[in-house]
């Protein structure tokens, strides 16, 4: 199914994306549990993070074509994210030291 979106304004496209996402949620067909081998990744996206009064990490990521996407993580997932990022940083620093590169 193809659509000609070339004559739509940015506001119209934003509304279409929002409506399509809402419709996708209503289908209740689950997404894959893991990302596939090919992903549409954004390199070094703009991001903002705040801790809410409910002790949730509100992480906002900006993806071209989609705008700001917000994710709320409870404390247990904040800890998991911290552990994962700590491991990544440790590995990255180890590789940098071995290769002699500096940050």
pLDDT level of residue 103 (50, 70, 90 thresholds): low
Q: Which two tokens stand for residue 100?
A: 């002699």
Q: Are 60 and 46 contacting, i.e. CB atoms less than 8 angstroms apart?
A: no
Count of domains observed in the chain: 1
In a domain, 64, yes or no: yes
Higher pLDDT, 30 or 60: 60
Q: Are 72 and 58 contacting, i.e. CB atoms less than 8 angstroms apart?
A: yes
- pLDDT surpasses 70 at 69: yes
In a domain, 71, yes or no: yes
- pLDDT surpasses 70 at 102: no
Q: Are 81 and 57 contacting, i.e. CB atoms less than 8 angstroms apart?
A: yes
SS3 state of residue 58: strand
Which letter does DSSP use for residue 7 in this model?
T
The pTM of this model reads 0.72
Predicted confidence at residue 3, as pLDDT, reads 84
pLDDT digits 0-9 by tens, 39-60: 889 999 999 999 999 999 999 9
In a domain, 66, yes or no: yes
For residue 47, give the H/E element and its range.
strand 47-51
In a domain, 36, yes or no: no
In a domain, 3, yes or no: no
């Amino acid at each position: 199914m193809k659509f000609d979106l070339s004559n739509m304004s940015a506001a119209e496209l934003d509304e279409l994306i929002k409506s399509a996402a809402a419709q996708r949620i209503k289908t209740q067909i689950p997404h894959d549990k893991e990302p596939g081998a090919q992903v549409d990744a954004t390199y070094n996206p703009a991001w903002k993070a705040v801790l809410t009064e409910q002790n949730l990490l509100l992480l906002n990521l900006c993806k071209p074509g989609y705008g700001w996407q917000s994710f709320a993580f409870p404390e247990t997932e904040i800890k998991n994210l911290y552990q994962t990022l700590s491991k990544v940083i440790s590995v990255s620093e180890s590789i940098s030291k071995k290769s002699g590169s500096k940050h």
